[in-house]
Amino acid sequence: MNLGLIGGIAGAVIGIAGGLFGTFASIRNTSGPKEREFAIKASIITWIVGIVFIILLILLPVPWRFFLWIPYGILLPFGIIKWNRTQQRIRNEESHDI
């Protein structure tokens, strides 16, 4: 095995482990059942979108794979903002229910 292959495999394993830990922490740090349910659903959607994005990067030919970064770069920040606002709204609703 060459050093580049080892580094690529190690980087992928570390990245996936970090993503799994982040997902676990995000779900664990929820305040109530509705917020936890939302965090689980949003995490599943995020993982699916990420996996599809990586698969398309691997499978598409060179000129087309670069175009994937345009919607990804635009939609990712909007998705993060939407996730945070929705989670905060749910947290506020659950705190008023108590």
Q: What is the pLDDT of residue 96?
A: 84
Whether 91 shows a pLDDT value over 80: the answer reads: yes
Across the range 83-94, mean pLDDT stands at: 95
- Domain total in the chain: 1
Asked if the model's pLDDT at residue 85 lies above 90, the reply is yes
pLDDT of residue 90: 96
The mean pLDDT of 17-28, rounded to a whole number, is: 97
Give the whole-angstrom CA distance, residue 7 versus residue 13: 10
Q: Mean pLDDT in the chain?
A: 94
Residue in 24, 37, 45 with CA at minimum distance from that of residue 94: 37
Structural domain span for residue 81: 3-97
Residue 29: DSSP 8-state: T
Is the pLDDT confidence value at 19 over 90?
yes
